[in-house]
């Protein structure tokens, strides 16, 4: 049962969720790349200058989510900057269509989907997936392609370490100009070059803190109207958010949704109110948000972790709190989600809370998380039945887990629920 209906009718919350989802897509090994934010900022500035206000919301939010179809790749999509490097990787070639399909699921963002589908089409027809050219490509997609190229050019020049900020801008714009009438629409290159020409504008795209301020300003000025309350876009975004998180690890497909299902079942047995269940479900869906910063090589490691690797794993809880804390009204959700690795005896992380100091929702998610890890099929470990898993978890009551939560879980997590969750959410 879903308890997130209250998330659906708030424009600010919906916008915050999209911006945070974009940030999560661009976290790589503790670094925030802000690729989607920069593309969206370039597109938003260009459209605002052009007067094409009709496309503004779709293209701007398309910029934030344009690479959502690349979630789960071993390396971030920016590691494939050229057409030659992209066409050799089937997952890269598929990511525009995959991303368009994902965004089409979000009520209110259906108009973004065609732009994402075409954002790797080239002006001269040499792009993909359909080899469209010039006027056959939507203006919004031309803008996304140019914003993408701008960010890649900026990264290349920053890495090369060339001179002053003025030198950096000149080199980036020279790279953009060299792509005219090939990869990029000449008219769009001219538009973007004019928009970023002022030094203050260019530096707002370079400096991460200034970029955050620019994104906040553009979001405040660009209307995003949440559709009918019956369509629940907030819950749809949270579900997609959880899929992006789980895509980081090839063995955890459906994990966050199952943890949410199990957490709600436990919460119902403990008599939580609908409002408390809403927070619990959202927190469970997003409980592993910070794990996107952990290298896949560590997540997939079969042997014991080194102290450095263990420290990196533990830092993901604090990053969960940081990322979710950027979303309006999510302070409570951030606190619950970020503390599901606390232990009842005080030996957990990130803050060493104990007993009732740990939010009840976090204590519930801790049990649901461990239960799913034990009952899901993963390499290098035994797959437990529901009964076997509960017997193991019960031995940790009063140490790792809250005894009251364990007692509720024994009654709530029936084999039939587990079978349904594994078949429908896996």
Q: Supply the CATH number for residue 34's domain.
A: 1.10.3210.10
316 belongs to a structural domain: yes
Tell me: do 277 and 329 sit in the same domain.
yes
Q: Tell whether pTM > 0.85.
A: yes
CA distance 25 to 100: 15
* Residues 205 and 352 placed together within one structural domain of the fold: no
pLDDT-above-90 percentage for the chain: 71
Q: Which residue has the higher pLDDT, 352 or 228?
A: 352
Hey, what are 184's tokens?
């990029």
Cis? peptide before 129, omega within 30° of 0: yes
Q: What's the confidence (pLDDT) of residue 1?
A: 42
Which domain covers residue 391, as residue numbers?
A: 249-424
Please report whether residue 239 resides in a domain: no
Are 199 and 260 in the same domain? no
Would you say residue 232 lies in a domain?
Answer: no
Spatial contact of 347 and 219, defined as CB atoms under 8 Å apart = no
**Distance, CA of 266 to chain centre:** 27
pLDDT (tens digit per residue) in 350-403: 999 999 999 999 999 999 999 999 998 776 678 999 999 999 999 999 999 999
Tell me if 396 is assigned to some domain.
yes
- Residue 250: pLDDT band (50, 70, 90) is low
Give the pLDDT score at 107.
80
User: SS3 of 297, please?
Assistant: helix
Tell me how many domains the chain contains: 2
Please give the Cα distance from 42 to 57 (Å, whole number): 13
Same domain? 195 vs 275: no
Say if 227 falls within a structural domain.
Answer: no
User: Taking the CA atoms of the chain, what radius of gyration do you get in angstroms?
Assistant: 23
Do both 209 and 292 map to the same domain? no
């Amino acid at each position: 049962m879903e308890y997130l209906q209250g998330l659906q009718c708030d424009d600010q919350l919906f916008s915050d969720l999209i911006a945070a989802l974009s940030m999560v897509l661009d976290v790589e090994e503790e670094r925030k790349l802000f690729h989607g934010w920069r593309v969206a900022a370039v597109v938003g500035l260009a459209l605002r200058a052009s007067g094409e206000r009709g496309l503004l919301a779709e293209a701007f939010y398309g910029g934030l989510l344009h690479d959502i179809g690349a979630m789960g790749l071993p390396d971030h999509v920016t590691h494939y900057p050229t057409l030659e490097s992209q066409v050799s990787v089937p997952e890269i070639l598929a990511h525009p269509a995959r991303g368009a399909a994902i965004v089409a699921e979000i009520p209110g963002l259906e108009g973004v989907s065609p732009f994402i589908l075409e954002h790797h089409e080239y002006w001269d027809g040499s792009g993909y997936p359909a080899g469209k050219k010039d006027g056959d490509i939507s203006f919004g997609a031309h803008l996304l392609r140019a914003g993408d190229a701008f960010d890649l050019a900026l990264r290349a020049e920053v890495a090369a370490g060339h001179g002053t900020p003025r030198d950096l801008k000149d080199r980036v714009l020279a790279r953009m100009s060299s792509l005219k009438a090939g990869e990029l629409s000449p008219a769009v290159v001219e538009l973007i070059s004019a928009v970023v020409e002022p030094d203050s504008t260019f530096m707002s795209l370079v400096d991460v803190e200034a970029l955050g301020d620019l994104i906040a300003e553009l979001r405040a000025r660009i209307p995003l109207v949440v559709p009918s309350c019956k369509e629940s876009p907030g819950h749809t975004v949270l579900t997609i958010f959880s899929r992006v998180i789980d895509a980081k690890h090839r063995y955890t497909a459906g994990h966050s949704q199952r943890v949410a299902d199990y957490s709600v079942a436990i919460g119902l047995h403990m008599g939580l109110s609908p409002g408390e269940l809403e927070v619990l479900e959202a927190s469970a869906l997003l409980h592993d948000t910070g794990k996107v910063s952990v290298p896949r090589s560590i997540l997939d490691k079969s042997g014991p972790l080194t102290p450095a690797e263990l420290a990196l794993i533990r830092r993901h809880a604090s990053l969960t709190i940081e990322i979710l804390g950027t979303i309006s009204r999510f302070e409570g959700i951030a606190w619950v989600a970020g503390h599901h690795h606390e232990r009842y005896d005080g030996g957990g992380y990130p803050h060493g809370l104990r007993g009732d100091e740990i939010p009840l929702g976090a204590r519930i998610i801790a049990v649901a998380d461990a239960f799913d890890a034990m009952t899901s099929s993963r390499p290098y470990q035994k797959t437990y039945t529901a009964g076997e898993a509960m017997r193991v978890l019960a031995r940790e009551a009063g140490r790792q887990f809250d005894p009251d939560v364990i007692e509720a879980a024994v009654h709530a997590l029936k084999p039939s629920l587990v079978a349904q969750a594994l078949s429908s959410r896996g």
